[in-house]
Chains A and B, each alone.
Chain A
């Protein structure tokens, strides 16, 4: 999967979880940029991303991830090969 593809899929997951078609995520997007992305929705988002990409984040990654770019890094490192 290329980085562009990962972002395209992430975009769909974000739009679906936050129920907002206008969301466009990029490397620097953080929870501050999306109104509904609070601690409650964070876990739902993580679960949806995991399901979509067929991978698992560790608890450490869940709490330290700073932005969508880092999320994409983890996804790519786990779905390689």
Chain B
């Protein structure tokens, strides 16, 4: 069974699990979910690698046991350190050693030294390591901070760590809010099960109909960017923005939908991010659970270390209250954004594209804010105007897209070359002379893609105003029936799936 939610085999697997889940005694439901999660891990070809998430849960279990037995601060801290070092150690060893090696090699070849000083290592990275490590680690830290209850049952802890809807590409879980519902009995609730399935259908629409189509254009241009310069890069990058969004948020719709059919609510990861008016807001609406995790477990603790508080005091003395405070925050944010970037993968293209570039945006935004404000007053622009909001959304989308160029390019260097090509080659005629239809989507396919994006856009606008599924529920039966079946047939007819298109791999599960 391929490791994705859109394969036919996965749907069969899920149907069997769902059926059994509501037949067995409710007390056994959580044990069964643990069994299903282990089966999912094994069936997706991870074999022996299943020992990694089990070992991570064991580390958390031992750490929690050590912590709960004592009030002694030193012992509690030692237990926490044990968990942090083991969990982060495994993550760094498996995901980032080659990043270090490649960087050293890169510097060496830049200095004219031998080609490869150190040979990169070959590892099999266990499925979902970046996600389960963060879910488990956050929980251990919360117990240390005494805001979460320690779970005394090792098997329950393992279910929390390996829960199959969330293992592929998140969301990152938070035990103190999501934990207990895993183990509670869940009677069959027709409404929740249908809601969950409807959400899955919506996710399939995003992934199979939109994302897979965008993928064709993106691959053509990004794999041959020398042949496709200038405006091609603009178009392909916008397509990639929609590909990544529909792929990642679509896989979240499926994950949250599946979980809802089990009566378990996972945290939301997206809130129509492309409607954000600035970069900070964008990060509160894109991959929300990662942002919250980073804030609580990296950014806040960092700013509260004595090193940072002392630095803050010194800076305030030297540069004045406001500037001093700002400079200290900027430094902490640099570390934060570096971490966000590298979380996505051990490669400079991620460190720049979804890390430091965003740090640069936020810092420049803060520094230039007074100038912008003065300019707006001079030009008499209404700061609450509708057009200004639209301008801000477009600007934010544009800035985010520059990051996506690095993110999608083969390497940071390729990303840079593509950006140069995008601004230096003037070929807008390709937008109108039909060249765009040679990139992988012919006229009909492109129309399908555009109509689907329009559907997505309309639903997103409605989502901003409230719950769409509840609104549909209030419609008369024939209307509801027509709406959901129309969507279902749309996906079946127009989705890219099946043997020849089995590539519906979730982009974010590589992380």
Contacts and interface: CB of A to CB of B under 8 A. Distances in A.
Contacts of A38: 280
Interface range on chain A: under 10, 10 to 19, 20 to 34, or 35 or more? 10 to 19
Given A40-B329, A47-B309, A59 B280 contact: no
A3 to B, nearest CB: 24
A63 interface: yes
A64 B295 CA distance: 13
B236 to A, nearest CB: 34
Given A39-B295, A39-B299, A43-B300, A60 B147 contact: yes
A8 interface: no
Contacts of A42: 300
B325 A59 contact: no
Interface class of chain A by DSSP: helix
Given A38-B280, A44-B325, A47-B309, A58 B304 contact: no
Contact of B304 (A19, A40, A62, A64): A62
Interface in B283-327: 295-296, 299-301, 303-304, 309, 312, 322, 325
Contacts of B295: 39
Interface string A47-79: 100000000001110111000000000000000
B145 interface: yes
A62 B325 contact: no
Interface residues of B, number: 18
Interface in A1-55: 19, 38-40, 42-44, 46-47
B146 interface: yes
B329 A59 contact: no
Contacts of B333: 40
Contact of A63 (B296, B303, B325, B329): B296
A43 B146 contact: no
Contact of A59 (B304, B309, B312, B322): B304
A58 B303 contact: no
B145 A60 contact: yes
B280 A58 contact: no
A7 B145 CA distance: 26
Given A40-B329, A44-B325, A58 B146 contact: yes
Nearest to A43: B303
Contacts of A62: 300, 304
A62 B329 CA distance: 17
A63 B304 contact: no
Contacts of A58: 145-146
A6 B457 CA distance: 48
B142 interface: yes
Interface in B459-501: none
Contact of B146 (A19, A44, A60): A60
8 contacts: A39-B299, A39-B300, A40-B329, A47-B309, A59-B300, A59-B301, A60-B145, A63-B145
CB-CB nearest 3 A-B residue pairs: A60-B145, A60-B147, A43-B303
Given A40-B329, A58-B145, A63-B147, 4 more contacts: A38-B280, A39-B295, A44-B329, A59-B304
Interface of B: 142, 145-147, 280, 295-296, 299-301, 303-304, 309, 312, 322, 325, 329, 333
